[in-house]
Amino acid sequence: MRDQSNIAQLDKGQSSKRFSNLFSLILALLAGCLVFAVMQGIHDNYGIMLPGIVARSGLDYASVSFVIAVGQILYGATQPVFGMLAIKKSNAFVMLLGILFMAAGLIASPFCNSLWSLLLFFGVLLPAGTGALCFGIVMGALAPIIGEKKAAVASGIVQASAGIGDAIMSPLLQRLTDGFGVTLSMPVFSIPILLMLPIVFWLGTKKKKIDKAQPVQVIASDAKKEKLSDILKSAFRDRTYWCLLIGFSTCGFHMSIIETHLFSQYVGSGIPASFASLTLTVYGVFTMLGAVITGFLGQKFRMKNVLASVYGIRILIALAFIFIPKSVPFTFIATSLLGMTGDSTVPPTTGIISNKVGVAKMAVVYGSIFIGHQLGAFASAWLGGIFVSTALGYTALWIADLCLCITATVASFKIRD
């Protein structure tokens, strides 16, 4: 009887421990999703801030667009830098820096009256903060907590949280900006950023506790021994790399139209600002759906064909923006399609890279291609400002996007996967 009682107590203790571990894993995953969603909700809504900053700073549309374009470059360029810092310090340390940078940028940017001051806070400090809270850093903080086997599933959930951040924060930011101006709305949006501080502290503490309880054995691999330059040289010799780079640079150009200029285009076409911001909520929801669909299709069909089809759909969207008059039904349908094709290039792109170079080298190769993505975003944000400030307007921007999407579609079909 005593043995049975001991066994029952042991089973009860193990069950309680499993439940506690499961609860901790869910809590950590929710924390990572919250941090990433808040960051992405700020990063994807520069377009809503743009008109208010133009009015408040006295700078023209092209100048503020240039500042945003610089920020697009830095968002991509700072990620590998912060990745190296995370290795030397910790992911939690980098995220804390990101929170402070973002808060400072949001608070100071509305009060900048010169191009150089706006460039410092809105074009450098704020985007650098978003780079420190990027997907790779957040997943780097979560991976030791949730374990390698669960990390793949968790990565999809964290990526999907970006759409939730857009869906919630876009209309809130627009209403605050419309009612009180950027001098209040942007500093107010630093509050949810600063509220992430205790969450990041908790993630860092949780990591240390698990590291002590379960030491991780580091196994040297050929990928770790290989030099960064050797990995990139090998990629540069592969036609697939250049085809993916063409496609992802086009993707960055296309996405920056949405993040920087779409809101202003809708409002300039007579669409109420409240509805224009609501369409960005629709966009956030459909980005999640599109990424899931292409991830599923990539398991059934050749990933290069899935990727080419996404760029092909973008051709049709660009044609619609060029030729169809803007109306409320148009904005809803068009923004839904923009959302469906928004993040849907990521699953097939990362899948092709993983198949080509392996999981260990994927981060390096994908990171170099992502810089091309942000160069495209820079060009779109800057050129859009120039076009809008001249007689060319948004139509010229969509024509450029159309030509690039045609090129990306052809390049994607030529990938050897």
Q: Is the dihedral of CA 387, 393, 396, 401 positive or negative?
A: positive
Q: What is the pLDDT of residue 210?
A: 44
Note whether 314 and 400 are within 8 A (CB): no
**Global model pTM greater than 0.85:** no
- The number of angstroms, rounded, from the C-alpha of 82 to the middle of its chain's C-alpha atoms is 15
Phi, psi for 79 (deg, rounded to 5): -65, -50
C-alpha 290, offset from chain centre: 14
CA distance 82 to 102: 14
- Cα–Cα distances in angstroms (integers) from residue 17 to residues 11, 13, 20, 139, in the given order: 10, 6, 5, 24
For residues 127 and 105, give the distance between their C-alpha atoms in angstroms, rounded to a whole number. 8
CA 38 → CA 189, 196, 346, 358, distances in Å?
A: 9, 9, 20, 31
At CA 87, angle to CA 83 and CA 88, rounded to 5?
120
Beta carbons of 344 and 290 less than 8 angstroms apart: yes
Instruction: Write phi, then psi, for 201 (nearest 5 degrees).
Output: -60, -45
Could you report the per-residue pLDDT of 369-394, keeping only the tens digit for each? 878 888 898 889 888 888 888 878 89
Q: How far apart are CA 71 and CA 75, in angstroms?
A: 6
Contact between 375 and 249 under an 8 Å Cβ cutoff? The reply is yes
CA-angle at 255, arms to 392 and 56, nearest 5°: 65
Q: Which residue's entry shows tokens 């999640």? A: 288
With contact defined as beta carbons under 8 Å apart, do 332 and 279 qualify? yes
Measured between alpha carbons, how far is 217 from 320 in angstroms, rounded to an integer? 54
- List, for the chain, all residue ranges whose pLDDT scores fall below the cut of 70: 1-21, 147-156, 206-229, 358-364, 417
How far apart are alpha carbons 92 and 141 in whole angstroms?
A: 7
Q: 156 is written with which tokens? A: 């999809």
| Contact by Cβ (8 Å): 305, 351 | no
Residue 392 tokens, joined = 């060319």
CA distance 372 to 378: 10
| C-alpha span between 175 and 182 (Å, rounded) | 11
Domains of the chain: 19-215 (1.20.1250.20), 226-417 (1.20.1250.20)
Neighbours of 88 (CB within 10 A): 8
CB atoms within 10 A of CB 210: 18
Q: Which residue has the tokens 């609860």?
A: 23
- For 345, the token pair is 């290039």
pLDDT at 120: 94
CA dist list (Å): 274 to 49, 53, 171, 173, 264: 14, 18, 7, 10, 12
The reported pLDDT for the residue numbered 215 is: 40
Burial of 183 per CB tally in 10 Å (0-12, 13-18, 19+): middle
Residue 269 — φ and ψ, nearest 5°?
-90, 5
Q: How many helices (H) and strands (E) does the chain have?
A: 21, 0
The span from the first CA to the last CA of the chain, in angstroms, equals 63
Radius of gyration over every alpha carbon of the chain, rounded to an integer in angstroms: 22
